[in-house]
Amino acid sequence: DKTPLLFQPIQLRGITLPNRIVVPPMCMYSAEEGFPTDFHMAHLGKFAIGGAGMVILEVTAVTRDGRITHGDLGIWDDEHAKKLAPLAAFLKSEGSVPAIQIGHSGRKGSMQRPWKGNGPLTPEDIAGGDTPWQPEAPSAVPLADGWLTPRELDLDDMKRLRGAFADATKRAVDAGFESVEIHCAHGYLLQTFLSPLGNFRTDAYGGDLQGRMRLSLEIAEDVREALPDNLPLFVRISAVDAIEGGWEMEDSLVFAKELKDRGVDVIDCSSGGQTPKGATNFKLNRSPGYQVPYAAEIRRDVGIMTQAVGLITDPHHAEEILQAGDADLIAIGREALYNPFWPRHAADAFRLDEDFETWPPQYGWWLDKRA
């Protein structure tokens, strides 16, 4: 088969992606009380019309306090699932596999939308209606000076949290999503449990690597159990904290192996987020494919499928990553915000569909007759 790997279908359990291009989760901070708005349909719909093999909805909070901002999507109630269902249905109708990332903000909860300052809520934000709440974390240590001090979760809280992840999974399946990704990255709750930079507990959920991994592994088991066997499970990790004394690549290898043993299908390899300098790592100036080595090492060492993400913008680069065996899936984030038709243009770069036959007929019929 001469078709580039990027455009060969790939099977994940009972689900087949038509190509290996994934739009990764990207928060739009445009929800209301966790409910999606028209913005979400327009935003996500473009990616499906644009030809992505899978579209993963932005991190969707499993509890109300698990939101990052007041604009986060939520799935803590059955009513949320009812409103998410049309999004899943539309993605599927255009040929993309609908997926959803579920998570909890941890000590980054109750903050500003990025474009409002990307920091803790100010008196002006609060006067404007963004009522703060106390974030929750493994330890009562704020992200940085000036941030809210989180409440330390106790064992009952963790039981509730596990239930919330399992319930969120069931709701997502009911809503029509065909894959779930657990957010274990970027300094949010689960990664703060994993990282020695955020977890100072002395009970079974802290201390050594086994203790710090415990909650994430339990949740992976619960989510796997709640997800039908034919649907694939992704876990997004921060492969490294990239801070002295933090989570290292060797920890990621152990974690990925444990996740694989619990029926996780794909490790989505990101990095960072545990930094007090900012709430996110994605603004840092990095080079193309800077996180690919993490996906490659985990794929080879653990023998599990991986998704590469981070400044992959050139279709030929994406193909090289797949050809090299460095990853199974390629996520296109900000470049898809810039160009939602990236997958279709990538197909053009390989001269795969000069007659626009794979485009939605509403567009393709016309484009073919353009010249």
The residues of the shown chain that bind ligand FNR, judged by CB under 6 A, are 24-27, 58-59, 101, 183, 185-186, 236, 270, 282, 309-312, 332-335
Cβ at position 103, least distance to ligand FNR in Å: 7
Question: Using CB atoms within 10 A of its CB, is residue 114 exposed (0-12), middle (13-18) or buried (19+)?
Answer: middle
List 188, 290, 294, 338, catalytic entry: 188
Using CA atoms, how far residue 317 sits from 30, 142, 295, 330, in Å, is 32, 39, 15, 10
Task: Choose between 128 and 288: whose C-beta lies nearer to ligand FNR.
Answer: 288
Q: What is the DSSP letter of 56?
A: E
Residue 29 annotated to the active site: no
Cβ at position 25, least distance to ligand FNR in Å: 4
Give the CA angle between residues 270, 243, 286 to the nearest 5°: 50
d(CA 130, CA 125): 6
Write a three-state SS string for 70-120.
CCCEECCCHHHHHHHHHHHHHHHHCCCEEEEEEECCHHHCCECCHHHCCCE
Task: Choose between 313 and 358: whose C-beta lies nearer to ligand FNR.
Answer: 313
Task: Choose between 31 and 356: whose C-beta lies nearer to ligand FNR.
Answer: 31
* Residue nearest to ligand FNR according to CB distances in the complex: 333
Cβ at position 302, least distance to ligand FNR in Å: 20
Cβ at position 28, least distance to ligand FNR in Å: 7
Cβ at position 237, least distance to ligand FNR in Å: 10
SS3 342: helix
Task: Choose between 83 and 356: whose C-beta lies nearer to ligand FNR.
Answer: 83
Dmax over CA atoms of the chain, in Å, equals 69
Task: Choose between 206 and 235: whose C-beta lies nearer to ligand FNR.
Answer: 235
Listed residue (93, 91, 90, 89) closest to 174, CA to CA: 89
Q: Quick check: 307 and 269 in contact, CB under 8 A?
A: yes
The set of catalytic residues is 188
